[in-house]
Each structure stands twice: as structure tokens, then as C-alpha cells.
Amino acid sequence: MKPLLIQTVTVLVFAAVWETVAESGLLFAGILPGIGEILRAAWVLASSGAIFPHLLVTVHEASVGFVFAALFGIALGVLLGTQPFLRRVFEPPLLYFAATPKIILYPIFLMLLGAKLESKMAMAAVSGFFPIVVNTTIASAGVNRVFLKVARSVGASRLQIFTRVYFPSMLLPVAGGARLGIGVSLVAAILGELKVSNAGLGFIIMQSFNHFRIPEMYAGILLTFLFAAAVNVAMTLLLMRCRSFAHESAR
């Protein structure tokens, strides 16, 4: 079976099970509304435009955080990858921090930056930083040393070595790290909004929950999922483009 067909069948089965449980009365009324009710609430949110200011807030928080994560993550990753001594010193603690849930830092960001957008941007930046720096470090450390020796033997400058040797070799792993990074940056921004905020997709979901507007809560979750899926598709297309460029450069 084709993957798309399997994915479609999985979604349909999930929807059928959801609707069956919702109509069965097994759960307390209102906890699990029917799919039609959720879709109507999603349509109201989208058609009225109520969700778009909150979507822009979340996009702003996640994108600013991701830009900082990418800038610092790639720069530090290249440095650690090209300097074996620094890599031996700093890679172990970096990996320890990478495995730590970043949400534990959120109270610190709230104290330092307040409850507005900046604390969510910081969460997004810190969360997105680690997959990018780890992938970049591995990529730059794994560049073929023979290529480097050949480039130096013909008198290539540092800039030429970076653009002609490092860049094509690192492109795919760094793009993969960026794909992970933007995903976790988005998750981190929404987590921050769920905790303390007055705008954003997480804020809409929590407001609906607090006022027991359950269909609207599920609708917010659904629209957030669709937005995250769109971001993932865009990053997948970018990764495919990077793969084509890397293959052309290797010829």
C-alpha cells in the first residue's frame, strides 16, 4: 500500500473511533464533542478571523526564537566541529543540556523578561538551539579530511574552503537540524503561551478550557496541528531542495 493511502485510512479510522466514543455516552457529556461540532467551532474561529491575530503572535515568537537559535547554533556548531579540543570540552555538557526539558527554564525567563512575548521568544530560542548546534557540530566534524587536505594543497583560502568543502558537506545535516529546531521552537512558544500569556494559539486553547468551551478548545488544537503540519511540509520541501543542491555540488 502507498504511504498516503495508509495515512488517509489511519485518519479515517481515528475519526470513526472518535465519533463512536463521542456518541456512545461513555464519557461525561462535553468532554469529547463530535467531530462535526469541532469542525464548526474551527470554522467559526477561522472565518471570523478571531484566530489570526493569535496565530501571528505565535509565528512571531517562534520565528524570532528560531532565528536566534539558528544563528548561535550554527556558529557554535561550526566552531566545535572544526576545533577537536573545544569539542571534547563542551560537547558532553551540551548533550546533557540538550536532553533536559527546557520548560524548567520558563520561570527564569518570566522573571527576567516578563510575561509578554520576550519570554516565549527565549523559550523558543533555547529549545531550537540544541538540535541545530548538535547537528551542525556532527556535520562539521564529519567533513572528509581528504577534501580539506586537497583544498589546502591547492592554496584555497579559508573562505573558499568553507564555501567549497564545508558548506556542501554540512548542508543536509544542518537543514535537518533546522527542521527539528523550528518544530521545537514552535512547541516551546505554544507551551509558554499555555502557562502565562494574553495572546497566541496556546492562549486561545487555555481560555477555551478555562471557560469550558470544549469544542472551541479542540478546534484550537486542530488548527494548531494544521499550522504545525504546514510548517513541517515547508521545511520538508526546503530539505528536498537542499538535498538536490548537495547532490549537484558533489558532481
Residue 143: all three cell numbers together = 567533513
Does the residue 142 lie in any domain? Answer: yes
- Say how far apart CA 124 and CA 6 lie, in whole Å: 33
Query: 129 in a domain, yes or no?
Result: yes
Amino acid at 71: L
* pLDDT of the residue at 1: 58
- Residue among 43, 56, 21, 70 nearest 177 (CA): 70
Taking the C-alpha atoms of residue 20 and residue 9, their distance in angstroms, rounded to an integer, is 16
The answer to the question of residue 16 being in a domain is: no
Report the number of distinct structural domains present in the chain: 1
CA 202, CA 205: separation in Å to the nearest integer?
5
Mean pLDDT of the chain: 86
Q: Under a CB-based contact definition with an 8 Å cutoff, are residues 55 and 227 in contact? A: yes
Is residue 170 predicted with pLDDT exceeding 90?
no
Helix or strand or coil: residue 85?
Answer: helix
The C-alpha atoms of residue 209 and residue 202 are separated, in whole angstroms, by 11
Burial (CB count within 10 angstroms: exposed 0-12, middle 13-18, buried 19+), residue 213: middle
Q: Does the residue 26 lie in any domain?
A: no
Residue 4 belongs to a domain: no
Which set of grid coordinates corresponds to residue 25?
A: 455516552
Average pLDDT over residues 68-97: 90
Whether 65 has a pLDDT exceeding 90, the answer reads: yes
Indicate the pLDDT class of residue 246, thresholds 50, 70 and 90: low
Amino acid identity, position 143: V
**Domain assignment present for 3:** no
Domain CATH code at residue 80: 1.10.3720.10
Structural domain for 239, as ranges: 36-250
Angle between the 201-210 and 167-195 helix axes, to the nearest 10 degrees? 30
Q: Which comes out higher in pLDDT, residue 191 or 161?
A: 191
Distance set, CA 106 to CA 110, 122, 195, 228 (Å): 6, 9, 9, 22
**15 located within any domain:** no
Summarised one tens digit per residue, pLDDT across range 121-130 is 999 999 999 9
Q: Is 47 part of any domain?
A: yes
Q: What is the pTM of this model?
A: 0.84
